[in-house]
Amino acid sequence: METFLLVNRWVHIGAGFLGFFVAPVALYVRKGGPAHRLWGRVFFWAMMVAGTTAIVSAAYQGLTFLLLTGIFSLYLAWFGYRSLYHKQLGRGEARPAVADWLGVGLGTLVFAGTVAYGLLHFSRNPVPVVFGAIGLMTTTRQIRGFLRTGPWPAGQWLMNHISGFVGSYIAAVSAFSATSLTFIPFPLNFLWPTLLIVPGMIWVQRRYQARFARGHRPAEVVEVRIQPEASGVRT
């Protein structure tokens, strides 16, 4: 078991560092272009590996909050990735797949549990309430989109894609900061990535939304490729 945990730890570290470095590259290059898709896929799988190994380690050591943080990061990466398959769904031309409903249902339960855990330990650690509330806002918005009978607001799938991947990156950086940057006082060690990155993300999303409001189509803003059929949804 000790050997397994050691290997798990080094795989986690390697995947985490890979994700830290490739995420800025994916954000810098032309959105939707070949380089963006390449580095975006690398980031997605790096987060899958880092999140899964974090869950294994946290579960074995009984670190409940880090366990929830790992799930949080995994869900947001999945949310960002699945959003790419919702282009036709956003136009009212398809319906959510079973995998979409299972994912958002599981995410809602986990984030509600995160908020409950945070409230029970609020005097010692208010951070789970913040992360859990962000997660619940994400899943609530997703459920509203799935229940919508008509088209989504223009480019909503793109806003979801940005929120999911950037949110996953924030969660990963927050976990790294909390466990490694011990010179930063608590709870700032958990929250500084959110405070630093979220305003920039909102600024970018509002720029896109302003262009959509002026009548621009998503294909005129970013390079759009219709994804192949996946999990029962034609996109």
DSSP of 88-116: HHHTTSS---HHHHHHHHHHHHHHHHHHH
**Which residues does residue 230 pair with via DSSP β-bridges, in sequence order?**
233
* Nearest Cα residue to 23 out of 180, 158, 163, 166: 166
pLDDT of 49 reads: 94
Mean pLDDT, the chain cut into blocks of 10 residues (235 residues total) = 87 90 88 88 94 88 78 89 83 80 91 89 84 89 86 86 92 85 89 92 92 85 66 39
pLDDT of 113 reads: 87
pLDDT of 197 reads: 93
pLDDT of 234 reads: 37
pLDDT of 235 reads: 35
Model pTM score: 0.85
230 phi/psi in degrees, rounded to 5:
-145, 130
